[in-house]
């Protein structure tokens, strides 16, 4: 890769009255689209940047829904409590309060934008998911919630004439001269440097770095790596949430089989049809995802099989097909009818709990750079995200990002209680994603997965370090996809190695219990290697 030629402005140039009012929003999932629409409503002139097309994002595949306390028997306080309980001692109570208390107002925004939530007797229908004490999951099109939200917001953004740059990849962020300067690379049009505009990072998580993942291939965590390269503080990177029930058949994608099916009564069984959670987990099929995943791993260890079964045959057929059309359509392509056939399932990487550290106003540690959605680490999920809180997080902290864009004020994330530094040296620049991504995916799945241990993490870290020396750019060049993927994987691995306990989604077989000394947030930042409490 040679030195970079950078244009100074987009072509054709847009009339810019005040760049501070022209935010650049990177990422077109629920967070990016929502921020763009709210900016537009409030008189800003946003540009939305997306690395493939406006349609493609993790949001589109979200089946479960959006959690919000709307039921007569529910309250925002109960939602707050459930969120804190799921997070296993690490949820930031203030962040979770913001999330749950502001949820109803953000749902009202979505209704105003035209999202067709499913209703019963004229009221929004509410479903049940694991670790929620009340039915509070809003859905649209049955199990097509993400698709319906994405389509509604996307059409509206186009109708509003919001400037959209498709097939445009964020290459770097630089805050060394004060405000942010970013380099974007548009397919077929080369690179542009954009300076002086506020940046909202909403590039999503890193789930698809794992060999087995419920995420689309765009979810490679490149925004996390790019922010880190710019000097951003990351937190909670060791917490990767695995989903217990992704479709498991040789050669098939690990398509999500929504937890809402278990909420409706579907049961997990061995290949012989015996329930294996009953009597072992108090909440049975509706226990938190980490414990269900580990119980499935144990069962797979005993049986030697590659999957267990999710038996939804007790749910009436009409109900099954009306409530879960996406899952039923998908299964039909494999000749399965869930009203008759138990579904082969196994865990898959699903959600990146950590990411770019932010405060309650979506401010990162980089001046002029805000972050929201899965990329951001707000502290709302703690060590374990409560189901259907993720689309909500994009909305609630997206709104707070818009507020910051309108009335910028200084601030940023709290310093974490512990900090690990990772050193980044220039490498050989052989960035071949087709070769690197499968190696990274295999290492993460084998050594940094549902059950981890110190020696495995250390070995994975060394191997990722070797891969990084190959693909990390030479001095003065920009990092590519392989280098960013490797860096994100290395960060997850390093954080998982540092956290010598088990908590929430992070399970270490060599430290199988939570430890009081680790009831604290772990940060990762660039710099000379050292670990310890912050001064
Ligand atoms: C699901 O539908 O099971 C996933 C929902 C979520 O991850 O919040």
**pLDDT per position as a tens digit, 502-521:** 999 999 999 999 999 999 99
391 CA closest ligand 1 atom index: 8
- CATH assignment at residue 472: 1.20.58.100
The Å distance, Cα 338 to ligand 1 centre, comes to 19
- Is residue 530 in some structural domain? yes
Domain boundary among 347, 367, 390: 347
pLDDT of residue 63: 82
The Å distance, Cα 149 to ligand 1 centre, comes to 15
Find out whether the beta carbon of 220 lies less than 6 Å from any atom of ligand 1. Answer: no
Domain boundary among 314, 347, 380: 347
Find out whether the beta carbon of 390 lies less than 6 Å from any atom of ligand 1. Answer: yes
Nearest CA-CA partner of 367 in 532, 215, 173, 166 = 173
CA 117 to chain centre: 22
The Å distance, Cα 38 to ligand 1 centre, comes to 25
In the chain, the number of structural domains is 3
- CATH assignment at residue 124: 3.50.50.60
Distances (CA, A) of 201 to 315, 413, 460, 478: 41, 15, 29, 18
The Å distance, Cα 145 to ligand 1 centre, comes to 10
- Is residue 224 in some structural domain? no
Query: Is the domain of 136 the same as that of 182?
Result: yes
Find out whether the beta carbon of 245 lies less than 6 Å from any atom of ligand 1. Answer: no
Query: Is the domain of 293 the same as that of 322?
Result: yes
Confirm if 243 and 294 have CB atoms less than 8 A apart. Answer: no
The Å distance, Cα 96 to ligand 1 centre, comes to 18
Query: Is the domain of 256 the same as that of 305?
Result: yes
The residue from 45, 289, 323, 363 that is catalytic is 289
Token representation of residue 295: 């119980």
257 CA closest ligand 1 atom index: 3
- Is residue 222 in some structural domain? no
Identify which of 258, 289, 391 to mutate to test ligand 1's pocket (most ligand atoms within 8 A of the CB): 258
The Å distance, Cα 34 to ligand 1 centre, comes to 20
Find out whether the beta carbon of 63 lies less than 6 Å from any atom of ligand 1. Answer: yes
User: Containing domain of residue 395, as a range?
Assistant: 19-203+353-406
Residue of the nearest CA to atom 2 in ligand 1? 64
196 contact partners, CB below 8 Å, separation of at least 6: 19, 20, 179, 181
Find out whether the beta carbon of 58 lies less than 6 Å from any atom of ligand 1. Answer: no
Query: Is the domain of 23 the same as that of 146?
Result: yes
pLDDT of residue 535: 24
Find out whether the beta carbon of 388 lies less than 6 Å from any atom of ligand 1. Answer: yes
Query: Is the domain of 24 the same as that of 83?
Result: yes
Nearest CA-CA partner of 193 in 209, 211, 179 = 179
pLDDT of residue 462: 98
Query: Is the domain of 24 the same as that of 147?
Result: yes
Query: Is the domain of 431 the same as that of 401?
Result: no
- Is residue 89 in some structural domain? yes
Give the pLDDT means over successive 10-residue stretches in the chain (535 positions): 37 54 95 97 95 82 90 98 96 98 98 96 91 94 93 96 95 92 90 95 97 92 97 98 96 93 94 90 87 95 96 96 95 97 98 98 97 98 96 97 95 96 95 96 98 98 98 96 97 98 98 97 85 38
Find out whether the beta carbon of 260 lies less than 6 Å from any atom of ligand 1. Answer: yes
387 CA closest ligand 1 atom index: 8
Nearest CA-CA partner of 459 in 496, 410, 503 = 496
pLDDT of residue 278: 82
H helix or E strand, kind and range, residue 420: strand 418-422
385 CA closest ligand 1 atom index: 8
Distances (CA, A) of 239 to 22, 293, 347, 499: 34, 14, 15, 10
pTM greater than 0.85 (yes/no): yes
Distance between CA atoms of 202 and 59, rounded to whole angstroms? 12
Query: Is the domain of 339 the same as that of 373?
Result: no
Query: Is the domain of 428 the same as that of 388?
Result: no
Query: Is the domain of 32 the same as that of 169?
Result: yes
Query: Is the domain of 431 the same as that of 359?
Result: no
**pLDDT per position as a tens digit, 396-436:** 999 999 999 999 999 999 999 999 999 999 999 999 999 99
- Is residue 298 in some structural domain? yes
pLDDT of residue 351: 96
- Is residue 522 in some structural domain? yes
Distance between CA atoms of 89 and 521, rounded to whole angstroms? 10
- Is residue 176 in some structural domain? yes
Find out whether the beta carbon of 369 lies less than 6 Å from any atom of ligand 1. Answer: no
- Is residue 375 in some structural domain? yes
The Å distance, Cα 399 to ligand 1 centre, comes to 22
pLDDT of residue 529: 56
Residue 421 bears catalytic tag: no
Query: Is the domain of 399 the same as that of 263?
Result: no
Q: What stretches of 27-161 adopt beta strand conformation (E)?
A: 47-49, 66-67, 119-120, 123-124, 126-127, 137-138
């Amino acid at each position: 890769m040679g030195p970079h030629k950078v244009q100074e402005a987009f072509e054709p140039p847009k009339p810019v009255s005040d760049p501070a009012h022209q935010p650049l929003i990177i990422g077109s999932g629920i967070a990016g689209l929502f921020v763009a629409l709210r900016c537009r409503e409030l008189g800003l002139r946003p540009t939305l940047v997306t690395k493939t097309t406006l349609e493609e994002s993790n949001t589109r595949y979200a089946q479960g829904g959006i959690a919000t306390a709307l039921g007569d028997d529910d309250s925002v306080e109960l939602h707050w409590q459930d969120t804190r309980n799921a997070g296993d001692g690490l949820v930031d109570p203030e962040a979770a309060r913001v999330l749950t208390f502001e949820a109803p107002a953000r749902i009202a925004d979505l209704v105003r934008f035209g999202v067709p939530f499913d209703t019963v007797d004229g009221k929004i229908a509410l479903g049940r998911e694991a670790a929620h004490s009340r039915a509070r999951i809003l859905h649209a099109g049955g199990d097509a919630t993400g698709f319906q939200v994405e389509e509604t917001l996307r059409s509206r953004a186009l109708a509003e004439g919001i400037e959209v740059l498709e097939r445009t990849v964020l290459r770097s962020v630089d805050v060394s001269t004060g405000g942010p300067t970013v380099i974007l690379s548009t397919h077929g049009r080369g690179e542009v440097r954009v300076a002086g505009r506020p940046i909202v990072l909403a590039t999503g998580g890193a789930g698809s770095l794992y060999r087995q993942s419920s995420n689309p291939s765009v979810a490679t965590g490149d925004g996390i790596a790019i922010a880190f390269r710019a000097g951003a503080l990351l937190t909670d990177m060791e917490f990767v949430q695995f989903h217990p029930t992704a479709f498991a058949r040789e050669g098939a994608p690990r398509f999500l089989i929504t937890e809402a099916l278990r909420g409706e009564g579907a049961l997990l069984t061995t290949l012989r049809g015996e329930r294996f959670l009953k009597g072992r987990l108090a909440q049975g099929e509706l226990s938190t995802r980490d414990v269900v995943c580990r119980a499935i791993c144990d069962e797979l260890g005993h049986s030697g099989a590659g999957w267990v079964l999710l038996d939804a045959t007790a749910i009436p057929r009409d109900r099954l097909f009306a409530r879960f059309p996406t899952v039923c359509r998908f299964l039909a392509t494999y000749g399965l009818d869930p009203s008759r056939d138990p579904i082969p399932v196994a865990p898959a990487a699903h959600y990146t709990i950590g990411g770019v550290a932010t405060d309650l106003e979506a401010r990162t540690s980089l001046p002029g750079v805000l972050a929201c959605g899965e990329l951001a680490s707000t502290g709302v999920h703690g060590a374990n995200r409560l189901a259907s809180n993720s689309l909500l997080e994009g909305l609630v902290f997206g709104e707070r990002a818009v507020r910051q864009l309108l009335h910028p004020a200084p601030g940023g994330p709290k310093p974490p209680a512990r900090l690990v530094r990772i050193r980044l040296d220039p490498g050989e620049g052989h960035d071949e994603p087709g070769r690197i991504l499968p190696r990274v995916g295999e290492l993460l799945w084998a050594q940094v997965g549902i059950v981890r241990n110190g020696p495995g993490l250390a070995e994975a870290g060394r191997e990722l370090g070797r891969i990084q020396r190959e693909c990390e750019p030479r001095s003065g060049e920009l990092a590519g996809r392989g280098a960013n993927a490797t860096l994100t994987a290395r960060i997850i691995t390093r954080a998982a190695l540092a956290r010598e306990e088990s908590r929430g989604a992070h399970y270490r077989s060599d430290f199988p219990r939570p430890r009081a000394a680790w009831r604290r947030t772990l940060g990762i930042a660039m710099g000379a290697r050292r670990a310890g409490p912050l001064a």
